[in-house]
Chains A and B, each alone.
Chain A
Amino acid sequence: MVAPSRAPLRADRLRALNVPQSVAVECDVEDRPQTVGDVTVATVLESWRIDDEWWRQSITRCYHEVILDGGRRVVLFEDVATGEWFAQMP
């Protein structure tokens, strides 16, 4: 990682990194991702859930780290409040 410059840090100059991208996910009977878009999930490596910021706007997500057909590793999560699926870099 490159060290920050001496330029003052301003919030309006920040760009988010690793922003979740909306994806279409189909799950199996156990609610584990089966396909991401048109690509089949080869393996689910790990699954976990987070409940955060319950004191203001609650964030509840079910995460799955998966390997897709072709070998690409992706982190998927389902926003429990809305039911939408997103993909992120691991």
Chain B
Amino acid sequence: MQNSAATRMQLSTPRACGCLELRDIFGSHFDLSMPQRPTSSLAACVWIPLFPLRCEEARREGLASHPTALLAPDLSRKLWQVSPLARHTGVRPGMTVSQAIGLCPTLRLCEPDPVHYDERFARLLAALNEISPVIESGELGLAYVGTDGLEGIFGPPEKVVKAIECVVRGTWCVRIGLGRGKFAAWVAASRAKPGEAIIVPPQGEKKFLAAQPIAVLPLDPDTHRRLRQLGIRTLGALAALPEEAVTAQFGAPGRQLWRLAAGHTVEPVIGRNAPEPIVAALTFFTPVGERDLLERALDQLIARALKHPRRIGWRVQAVRLRAEIEGGRSWLADILFKDPTADAARIAAPLRTRLEQAPPPGAVERLVLELTAFAPGTAELQLFARDAVAAARAGQRRALESAAREIQQRIKRSCLYHVIEVQPWSRLPERRYALIDFEP
């Protein structure tokens, strides 16, 4: 769990943003020459382990006092999350239902409701947003709060932690860690007892990290095994090795691990922009179970969402497909596009695959498509980008102009040219085309 959370934390680190002037999805101006998203090097990690299971316990009275397990949100019918009481009886995630019942006959099984978990997590993030504008979400139940400057509002770090606790603790039993950079904060949260907080003092990160086991690093099993075989049990032991030696043994990932262990890597919390999603929904007269019908409905929803006026000039970066299933259950598929797109077929493809490989576990009463994140398709005002192709073309042109400007600034003279037609009809080849300085 620790490993997976730490890995997710690294993966969720956003890329640097460009330096352009754009309009945002709501049409208001913003200047990307300033960082597009707010950041904070001081981080508080708020962690609620087994968040989906806790959501079930919160809405079903008495469930917490029984050994409980949550089924995986796919068709495998294997266990996804297991409560500590169930774990004591030997039940583990990944087991089949029959194996688990064999070990613990009183085990209570819950069907997953990912939409509910997502909504609860969104509410948690919104609550944290009242403390700080810089919130970064990790996996379900893991969030980072940027705390730079909060001492002016709340006072010393202890008071900041108290304020966070006040916001979330009424509902959840959280673990909080506070330190410089997300990694130190995450490690502190993972070492804190339930309902407690660990604050890593400024400049004390190295000392704090040195005593932690290597399992807190985002390691693959092979690297973990090799480190243990080398007798390295703590981050301090790893950091005590020369950086070059670790790099030589484990390559670039090893260097990253060494830098994390030595406290040299300080990943800031990067706040999110949460534009209002574009939503298209379809309610079926009778619940639908056939995949063909669902796919047809999906195509309709995508077409409808892409036609939305706010989408024009923007490419879609993330979509979410939700299904409300008869019997009060739900199904959820989140897709993040590496290459943002405005092409209906490209948006539909991964969702179709998801419908095929992990279909809703029952007949669907309502299907909802949300376009949740967007990337600019153009640097021009979005009004001028009439369709996705024009938007993409304008985006390419802008990228070219930006690169040309940078080259010109670096070498102080023009060395890029357009080829232009001068007398394309001429019988003398040298008169047909000419070069002209490229001035972006």
Contacts and interface: CB of A to CB of B under 8 A. Distances in A.
Contact of B418 (A2, A16, A88, A89): A2
A50 B417 CA distance: 30
B439 interface: yes
A4 B418 contact: yes
A7 B419 contact: no
Nearest to A14: B434
A41 to B, nearest CB: 19
A61 to B, nearest CB: 8
A16 B430 contact: yes
Contacts of B437: 7, 13
Interface string A61-79: 0000000000000010000
Interface string B423-440: 000011110111111111
B422 interface: yes
Contacts, number: 53
Q: Which residue among A16, A50, A75 has the maximum number of chain B CB atoms within 10 Å of its CB?
A: A16
A78 to B, nearest CB: 14
B407 interface: no
A19 B430 contact: yes
A15 B427 contact: no
Given A14-B435, A75-B429, A9 B420 contact: yes
Interface in B190-209: none
Interface residues of B, number: 19
A5 B430 contact: no
B439 A20 contact: no
Identify whether the interface residues of A are mostly helix, strand, loop, or mixed.
loop
A1 interface: yes
A5 B438 contact: yes
A13 B434 CA distance: 10
Contacts of B440: 5
Contact of A17 (B427, B430, B438): B430
27 contacts: A2-B419, A2-B438, A4-B418, A4-B420, A5-B439, A5-B440, A7-B439, A9-B420, A9-B436, A13-B437, A14-B422, A14-B434, A14-B435, A14-B436, A15-B435, A15-B436, A16-B430, A17-B432, A17-B433, A18-B429, A18-B430, A19-B430, A50-B428, A52-B428, A59-B428, A88-B429, A89-B429
Given A4-B420, A4-B436, A15-B417, 15 more contacts: A1-B419, A4-B418, A5-B438, A5-B439, A7-B436, A9-B420, A9-B436, A14-B420, A14-B434, A14-B435, A15-B434, A17-B419, A17-B432, A18-B432, A50-B428
Nearest 5 A/B pairs, CB to CB = A15-B435, A7-B439, A14-B434, A17-B433, A1-B419
